[in-house]
Amino acid sequence: MFATLSDRLADTFKNLRGKGRLSEADIDATAREIRIALLEADVALPVVKEFVAAVKDRARGEEVSQALNPAQQVIKIVHEELVAILGGETRRLRYAKSGPTVIMLAGLQGAGKTTLAAKLALWLKEQGRSPMLVAADLQRPNAVNQLQVNGERVGVTVFAPEPGNGVGDPVAVARGAIEEAKRTLHDTVIVDTAGRLGVDAEMMKQAADIRDAVDPDEVLFVVDAMIGQDAVSTAQAFLDGVGYDGVVLTKLDGDARGGAALSIASITGKPVMFASNGEKMTDFDLFHPDRMASRILDMGDMLTLIEQAEKTFDAEQAAKAAGKLQTGDFTLDDFLEQMQQVRKLGSMSKIMGMLPGMGQFREQLENFDEREIDRIQAIIQSMTPTERANPKLIDGSRRARIAKGSGRQVSDVNQLVDRFFEARKMMQSMARGGGIPGMPGMPGMPGMGGGKRGKSKAQPKKGKGAKRSGNPAKAAQEAAAAKEKAAAAPTNPFGTPAGGEGIDYEQAAAALDLPKDFSKYLK
């Protein structure tokens, strides 16, 4: 979504690197590039003006002029201002103190409200709530049926007393849903309303009537992040006609420029609360302004990645795999199991995109073939249990049989086996605190020893001691020679005799060309 904006900002900040101090011209040029980047991303003009003015004002202040690294300080300012226009802090749902919490969804036609209602219900279910979906969109053909199908997919009850397709009273349905939720002990009610246009006064009034009938704790405005500048005017029309407490962005995984997401919170004063970034029901989460700002500036989003890993990974299985690595019992079955665990996080390109600095590999990530894991799985499952437990047994004839069974080439099997051995070797080294094989050791950093290949050539060999001759007479001669050599050697690191006898300090000072009267400090 924000690829173009990220690339433009990255190019802008490259021009600042290496500068010990920023001139007025540097600040103006940077502000101009940021303005162009935001306008190209379809951000609303008033937001762009306010953002650039804030960045320029702070860039001229003491926090940059007195900074050790002005370029990094400017990036920090841009990050903080991005967080501000995205809403500042993460806004969470308010739950009712008594009775069911009522959440009403409103938005344009085609914004994805019905699908998002099911995603929100699943998210609430994972939070320990008991949600119920309400089919109050009786206008769009098959809207009720779609909600029922989505509700079945996520395992959530759907209240749909009317068939829809233009039949039924949505206000009565919404009102009846509250009584039904109380009777069936559901603590959260999600009301899916009909899509409407900002200029449709009749449909706007219907939404306002539903709001008045159910008195919702939260009214969420659902907006398609791909509609650009029109999102701002639509958001304002809904704010005036119906009113809402927060915004939900859908289709954040699209290839549009994403200016709507950067504009709505600033223009309407209402925070973005949730974001949907995929087609799966699990592709939905809280919107964190600071994390989104970090993604835009290619700083990654490690917190979201960690949270997803915590939800997906089995702690017991992870501990078991770590134990196998340390004992050297890590097999191809374990390797496949770990890959399947990673796959549960989502697409590999999306996971890698959350890592810092991956913006420069965007083209490779976009071209990554997600079916590669399926091919690896086919190859491993074409092996016998004995071969998976001990891949060293896989010789030429076995590799040909495995390739034929998995529908791959022998070279693919060779690559997989070689990669497995390399990966196992690296993971075992890291698990034992030896660092990554092939990387030089880093002093003062635990676990980064680097192994044999990382040892410096200049490092002395460790052993039990110097080699000695087996002949007693020759050994005595070697010991005497070593003693004589040690006595003749300098006794301090500067190569001067012990005590400094025989040194002409005046002559040494003259040779060093020291300032006058400096020689008295050498005596």
What does the alpha-carbon distance between residue 405 and residue 399 come to, in Å, rounded to a whole number?
Answer: 10
Residue 284 carries which DSSP code? Answer: E
Task: Tell me: is residue 196 an annotated ligand-binding position.
Answer: yes
The reported pLDDT for the residue numbered 66 is 64
101-299 — its CATH code? 3.40.50.300
Residues of the chain with pLDDT under 50: 434-465, 489-501, 518, 521-523
Q: What is the DSSP string of 171-234?
A: HHHHHHHHHHHHHHT-SEEEEEEPPB-TT-HHHHHHHHHHHHHH--SEEEEEEETTSTTHHHHH
Amino acid 152: pLDDT: 93
87 annotated to a ligand binding site: no
Write the CB contacts of 515 (distance below 8 Å, at least 6 apart in sequence). Answer: none
Q: Is residue 193 annotated as involved in ligand binding? A: yes
255 annotated ligand binder: no
Rounded CA separation 456/73 (Å): 37
| Of 163, 159, 164, 157, the residue nearest 177 (C-alpha) | 159
Q: What is the architecture of the domain spanning 311-431?
A: Orthogonal Bundle (1.10)
252 assigned to a ligand binding site: yes
Q: Is 125 annotated as a binding residue?
A: no
Contact between 221 and 270 under an 8 Å Cβ cutoff? The reply is yes
- 413 CB-contact burial (10 Å; exposed 0-12 / middle 13-18 / buried 19+): buried
Q: Is 304 annotated as a binding residue?
A: no
Is 251 annotated as belonging to a binding site? yes
Residue 219 φ then ψ, to 5°: -110, 120
Q: Does 250 count as an annotated binding residue?
A: yes
Residue 425: which H helix or E strand, with range?
helix 410-431
Give 97-106 pLDDT, tens digit per residue: 888 999 999 8
**Apex 182 CA angle, 119 and 221, nearest 5:** 35
Q: Domain 3-85, what fold?
A: Four Helix Bundle (Hemerythrin (Met), subunit A) (1.20.120)
Q: What's 250's DSSP letter?
A: E
Q: Give 180's Cβ-side CA count (13 Å radius).
A: 20
- What is the pLDDT, as a whole number, of residue 201? 76
CA distance 205 to 200: 9
Q: Is 109 annotated as a binding residue?
A: yes
Assess contact for 122 and 154: CB atoms under 8 A.
yes
Q: Is 479 annotated as a binding residue?
A: no
Checking 48-51 for CB contacts under 8 A at 24+ apart, the result is 50/85, 50/266, 51/81, 51/82, 51/85
**Predicted pLDDT at 64:** 67
Domain definitions of the chain by residue range: 3-85, 101-299, 311-431
pLDDT in tens, 198-222: 556 777 888 888 888 888 999 998 8
Strand partners, 272: 247
pLDDT for res 67: 59
Instruction: Provide the pLDDT for residue 416.
Output: 87
What is the per-residue pLDDT for 68?
60
Is 253 annotated to bind ligand? yes
Q: Is 353 annotated as a binding residue?
A: no
